[in-house]
Amino acid sequence: MTDLNHIFRSGKEVFEKYLTEYLIDDHQYKGLLSQLDSILLLGDRVVQACKYHPNLKEIHDFFWFLSRIYTKSGRTHANIERVLAKLEIWLKTIYYFIHQGEQNELAGVTENGSLAMLYHKLQLLTNDELYSEIEIDLAREESSCDVKKLMMIARLIRNRQTHYPCSPPKDWNQLMLPATLIVILAPLYKKYEALQASLSTLTVRDLQWDELFHVFLKMKRERKEHLRFFQGREDAIQEVKEIVYEKKRNHGMYILVTGVAGIGKTALCCQLTEDILPINYWRIHHGKDQEFAPWLPSSLFFMGNRSISPAQMIRCLTMQANTLLLETIPLMDSDPLGVDIYEQKKKWLTVLRQLTKERGNILVILDGIDPVISDPSWLAIFPEELPAGVTILVTTQMHSMLGDWLTKERRSYTIHLTELSKKETAAIIGLEEEDHEVDFLWEETRGWPKQIMEFLRRKNQPNCFFYHPESSEKYLFGNLMKQWSPSFFPNEAKIILKEIKQLLLTIYPAHLSLSQINSYLSFRGFQKELIEIKHILDSVKEQLTVQYPDRPFQLYLTAFINYLRKKHYSQLDFCRSVEQVANWFMRLTTEEIEQEEVSEAILLFVRKCIEQREMHIHSVRKVITKLITNLGRKKQFKLLYQIASVNQKGKTEVDDLVFYCLTLSAEAYYPPAMNQLGTYYLKGIHVSQDSNHGESLIRMAAEAKDVQAMNHLGMRLIRGDGIEQDEQQGEEWLRKAADQGFARAMSNLGDYLYTVKKEIIEAKYWFNKATKLGCPRAMYRLSTFLFKNNNKEGEKWLKRAAEAGEVHAMIAMGQYMIEGKYLSRNPEAGVTWLERAASAGSTDAMIQLVKRYFTGNGVKRDWQRGEKWLKRGANTGNEMMMLQLGKHLLKGTYVIPRIEDGLLWLEKAALKNTHCLQELIRFYIDSPREIQDINRGLELLHRWIETGQKQAMYELGRRYLRGNGLPQNLEEGEKWLEKAAYAGLSQAMNDLGNGYLDGEYLPKNSDKGIAWLEQAAEEGDTSAMYSLGKRYLFGMGLPRNIERGLFWINKAAEMGNGSAIQVLKMGLINRLR
């Protein structure tokens, strides 16, 4: 009896004997002969998949009768007919595997499928071929029978009750066996790839258990733990998937995943075993493989440790492979004494080839095997060429022997893992990115997964109510700390390592090369060769971004750097290190300073010193000032300007040292510095405002042919911004900058020509020229121009500008898509563009999102997302968004009311803007009694008055006079109104004038009243003009004087006063006359 596990392969001779003559000349099926071994192997895999499947029990008789016709004695007419009679079951089985999971597709076929329907469904025959007439005269030599005719004959004989009620033609009897065999093989050949994919996850037996049981047990536990909180790393996972499933690749591939300990390499591997595992797959046995190796059958997985040898690793992987293979691979001896490396390599290649032969693609994950492959001789176990379809993913520590060797010696693709982003950190702990707990955790961990996992473990422990990073840092960073002080190092080497650590900490995140570190050590009194320093650094190479002496490097792990600074780097250490590093920089020659790494190190060093809280210490400021002066003496004016620019970016206030850098650079006539310093003088930033000097500096920079200064000067002249307006001269400077090839100037020139001079053709010329240089702003302006002229090209340029990062273009894309203006309406895509702009820091985009989400204007109402963007905008420091957030929290509109949080945001906004301060004062004074705080309101109002704000004086006086929110006090009210009026506030003058004339709240005094009203009117207050005119016309508190009244009414109307305009329209003046 034939073994059912090899039923197809054992019948190879029969298939070849009876089918060769029909296949050899058939243009559609002649490839079947050359691929016969693979097709028969696939057939056996189908048999295995059917063996214990509850829905495919009927197929077992088919296999049994098929095995009978392989023998000469069993190849009877009756047995062949029995196989032929069950062809429908075989074809239904093939169809079942191809469409598993598609219930609607399967239902009609499995219940009512005829042989003809199955031929059609499996694309073996077309409808025309199915119903064509067949006449084959075997006695005639010229007659022929191809594969399709054989399939038709099989159908006709199988259904002879319908087609040939008596009996089929006698000539067909000798075709019955080849017809039956071809129907069995044809679907395997036609649907080879689909079947291979469907059966790629087939498992056929349990794991073989031996001394490696504990390895699987440990892998199972660790995998489960890592999967508990896994989030993020989507990009890395997608990269791996694309390589694993790449169809065009005709060779195998190594993927190298590197990173420091605790960065998440193992967690990534564990998640990959989940993501690659299909939802529906075939498990013939539900035993130990499912319980202890849940990553099977999607991948082979191995986690390394020091107690495992390379031979045991190969044995472990072979055991896993055998659960997937029809033909098991014998296990080799794992005894290290009896191991031959090249025999192991040969065995490993056999495993990989057999896997791809039977299954197609396979992913092998080797995690943390640095300690397993500690002997360089074992590197040879990794084959030079992997079979097509094999992907081996290896995780290693940074700069490990294995990682460097695979990069150099094998075809590999490297994925380097860095710390998690704040967004990924928030996702892991299940909170919004803006949540204060996320901010706290991010500051403490800097996205280091190992520390985040420790947080989650402690958070989920009973009786642990809050996370204190300090309690776990010693455990987390203990091994890293030991690397900086190896017990076997001599004292001098330990001291040198400590000096290097202090240097790298002080200048972080700058990079330095080994030769530059040697220069610092020489300055500190240590004379060493480069090779000696490299050997010393080998003990901490995992913590450095690179390990080669010809490439600059830095400390790698941000979380550990923060820990060192906080726990082992006191304020005194900081001051000493700053002084030492600054003195070293001052000792460098001009040529050394101009090296890219040194310039960057100085730049970042000064920036960090300025940002540090210790900067107020006199000794630190003194040494940094000395360093800046030294750079000026060495004519490093570009570097000084860069220091000023980097430290000023995104800030409104200027530090003294930043201004000093800029001044030194500008005094040396460095054009960009002159341009920036000129802006400070024009705006009065950090200096007394001096428009003449500011303009002079910008002109000097422009005349020195600095294109940014030319553009800057041109725009200020056109707008009259800080300097006297001169559009003609401004246009000339813009043209000069544009002629120099400065794209932003071209865009600005196009704007000016289009919006002011209406020179459309030339404006379009400059927009086009700027877009060719890749200026996103010009692309955006060109799109605006094209849209207004109904040109569909506008969409193309707007999209390009948005994709290039132009925030205004992103906002426009969002608006147009939401409103269906210029672009097809697509609210979802529109919201995406607005959120991209908001994520880029645009408060305008955030404001739009908040309004739309709160009100449902153009998008689906979503108060939670609206609140999220309102909070994010407030967190950027935008005072109006702070104000709105505070108001919403106080009133409970669109958000859950939280009085304390609302007041906090209003207080923050009040520090930035007087309008916000006014809103806060009104809240404290005018709120209902249960939340009213008049004393706090008065305190803020007096603080506002102390800044010299006349509006604050008026607010206090008005409230006292009318008792509005404050106890009425006419004397105090009159006093503060007069102060505001004397300070020049026309509104206060108007109120005083009307009050004195009417005797309302103030003692009646016509002289004072008319004096204040006329002064307010002369100041341009239209309300005062209208009041004077009305009083003179009707004799209200003043002697009637129609001419004077008409004069003031006409003047108020000319200046847009609505009441005065209405009086004139009604014709009241003519009636009075």
CB atoms within 10 A of CB 108: 11
Kindly state the average pLDDT of the residues 451-473: 56
In whole angstroms, what is the distance from residue 925 CA to residue 932 CA? 6
To the nearest 10°, report the CA torsion of 549, 550, 552, 557: -40
Other residues' Cβ atoms within 10 Å of the Cβ of residue 437: 15
Is the predicted pLDDT of residue 614 greater than 70, yes or no? no
Best mean pLDDT range from 24-38, 665-679, 992-1006: 665-679
128 domain residue, yes or no: yes
Alpha-carbon 950 to chain mean position: 49
**Bridging pattern class, strands 390-396 and 362-367:** parallel
Quickly state the pLDDT bin for 464 (edges 50, 70, 90).
Answer: very low
Tokens (6 digits) for 721: 């911004």
What is the share, in percent, of the chain residues with pLDDT greater than 90?
16
Q: Can you tell me which residue has the tokens 């009203």?
A: 1013
Average pLDDT over residues 418-432: 78
Helix, strand, or coil (residue 748): helix
**Which tokens hold the place of 48?**
């295995």
In this prediction, residue 743 carries a pLDDT of 92
User: 711 or 905: which carries more pLDDT confidence?
Assistant: 711
Separation CA 321–CA 948 (nearest Å): 83
Q: What is the pLDDT of residues 136-170, one digit of tens each?
A: 544 444 445 678 888 888 887 776 544 444 455 66
In which element (H, E) is residue 656 found? helix 656-667
Contacts (Cβ under 8 Å, ≥6 apart) of 408: none
Q: Is the pLDDT of residue 210 over 90?
A: no
Residue 122 sits in the same domain as residue 41: yes
Predicted local confidence at residue 143, as pLDDT: 43
Q: How many domains does the chain have?
A: 4
In a domain, 779, yes or no: no
Main-chain dihedrals φ then ψ at residue 894, nearest 5 degrees: 70, -15
> Is the Cβ–Cβ distance between 731 and 714 less than 8 Å?
yes
Query: What is the residue whose two structure tokens read 């047995």?
Result: 79
pLDDT digits (tens, 9 = 90+) for 939-986: 777 877 777 778 888 888 888 888 888 888 888 888 888 888 888 888
pLDDT at residue 54 tops 70: no
Domain range holding 40?
4-198
Distance CA 565, CA 506 (A): 9
- Return the H-helix or E-strand segment holding 110: helix 103-112
pTM beyond 0.95, yes or no = no
Residue 481 lies in a domain: no
Lowest-confidence region among 13-17, 166-170, 248-252, 989-993: 166-170
Domain boundary among 418, 433, 452: 418
Amino acid 733: pLDDT = 95
State the pLDDT confidence band at 713, using cuts at 50, 70 and 90: very high
C-alpha span between 247 and 361 (Å, rounded)? 9
Number of other CB atoms surrounding residue 584 within 10 Å: 17
pLDDT band at residue 926 using 50, 70 and 90 as cut-offs: confident
Strand duo 390-396 + 253-258: pairing: parallel
Cα 1048 to Cα 93: distance, rounded to the nearest angstrom: 99
What pLDDT, on a 0 to 100 scale, did the predictor assign at position 730? 93
Most confident of 87-96, 123-132, 285-294: 87-96
Domain co-membership, 311 together with 370: yes
Beta bridge partners of 396: 258
- The answer to whether residues 56 and 173 belong to one domain is yes
Q: Give yes or no: residues 222 and 166 share one domain.
A: no
Does residue 441 sit in the same domain as residue 340? no
Residue 710 has pLDDT above 90, yes or no: yes
Strand order through the sheet with 362-367: 299-303, 362-367, 390-396, 253-258, 412-416
| The pLDDT of residue 4 | 65
**Average pLDDT score over residue span 366-382:** 88
Mean pLDDT of 16-33: 84
Contact 558, 599 (CB under 8 A): no
DSSP classification of residue 947: T
Beta carbons within 8 Å of 849's beta carbon, 6+ residues apart: 831, 834, 835, 838, 865, 866, 869
Highest mean pLDDT, choosing among 144-148, 453-457, 545-549: 144-148
Residue partners of 253: CB distance under 8 A and separation at least 6: 243, 386, 390, 391, 392, 411, 412, 413
Q: Which of residues 545 and 688 earns the better pLDDT score?
A: 688
Which of 141, 174, 198 terminates a domain? The answer is 198
Binned at pLDDT 50, 70 and 90, residue 94 comes out as confident
pLDDT in tens, 220-233: 888 887 777 677 78
In a domain? residue 152? yes
In 3D, which of 38, 3, 32 has the Cα closest to residue 16? Answer: 32
Identify the three-state secondary structure at position 895: coil
Average pLDDT value for the chain: 81
Q: Which of 198, 225, 240 is the last residue of a domain?
A: 198
Asked, for residue 100, whether it belongs to a domain, the answer is yes
What are the pLDDT digits (tens) for 1034-1049?
Answer: 888 888 888 888 888 8
Residue 435 and residue 331 in one domain = no
* β pairing state of 299-303 and 412-416: unpaired
Q: Are residues 260 and 361 in the same domain?
A: yes
CB 220 within 8 A of CB 294: yes
Separation of alpha carbons 1065 and 535, rounded Å: 95
Rama region for 948: left / alpha / beta (φ>0; ψ in -120 to 50; rest): left
Banded model confidence at residue 707, pLDDT cuts 50, 70, 90: very high
- β-partners of residue 299 are 363
Closest-CA residue to 173 (of 153, 159, 143): 153
pLDDT score, position 538: 82
Ranking 127-131, 176-180, 200-204, 601-605 by mean pLDDT, the lowest is 127-131
Q: What is the pLDDT of residue 762?
A: 92
Asked if the structure places residue 321 within a domain, the reply is yes
- With cut-offs at 50, 70 and 90, classify the pLDDT of residue 507: confident
Mean pLDDT over 411-435 rounds to: 80
User: Which one has a higher pLDDT value, 511 or 104?
Assistant: 511
CATH code at 398?
A: 3.40.50.300
Any domain includes 508: no
Least trusted range by pLDDT, from 126-135, 278-287, 822-831: 278-287
DSSP string for 359-395: HS-EEEEEES-TTTT-SGGGGGGS-SSPPTTEEEEEE
CB 322 within 8 A of CB 293: no
Q: Are residues 441 and 311 in the same domain?
A: no
Half-sphere exposure in the Cβ direction for 796 (13 Å, CA): 5
- What integer is the mean pLDDT of 281-288? 46
Contact 346, 409 (CB under 8 A): no
Q: Is the pLDDT reported for residue 288 higher than 60? A: no
Using an 8 Å Cβ cutoff, are 542 and 403 in contact?
A: no
Backbone angles phi, psi at 301, to 5 degrees: -135, 140
Q: Are residue 292 and residue 180 in the same domain, yes or no?
A: no
Cβ within 8 Å of residue 582, ≥6 positions away: 605, 623, 624, 626, 627
* CA separation for the pair 973, 762 (Å, rounded): 61
Burial label for 983, CB within 10 Å (0-12, 13-18, 19+), is middle
965: left (phi over 0), alpha (psi -120 to 50) or beta: left
**Are residues 177 and 19 in contact, defined by beta-carbon separation less than 8 angstroms?**
no
Q: What is the largest CA-CA distance in the chain?
A: 138
Banded model confidence at residue 634, pLDDT cuts 50, 70, 90: very high
359 is a domain residue: yes
Helix axis angle, 530-537 to 514-523, nearest 10°: 100
DSSP 174-202: GGHHHHHHHHHHHHHHHTHHHHHHHTTT-
Residue 742, pLDDT score: 93
User: Parallel, antiparallel, or unpaired: how do β-strands 362-367 and 253-258 relate?
Assistant: unpaired
Task: Judge if 397 and 442 occupy the same domain.
Answer: no
Preceding amide of 187 cis, omega within 30: no
Pair 277, 159 in one domain: no
Helix, strand, coil percent content, the chain, rounded in steps of 5:
65, 5, 30
pLDDT band at 112 (very low <50, low <70, confident <90, very high): low
Query: Are residues 299 and 330 both part of a single domain?
Result: yes
The DSSP bridge partners found for residue 395 are 257
- C-alpha gyration radius of the chain: 42
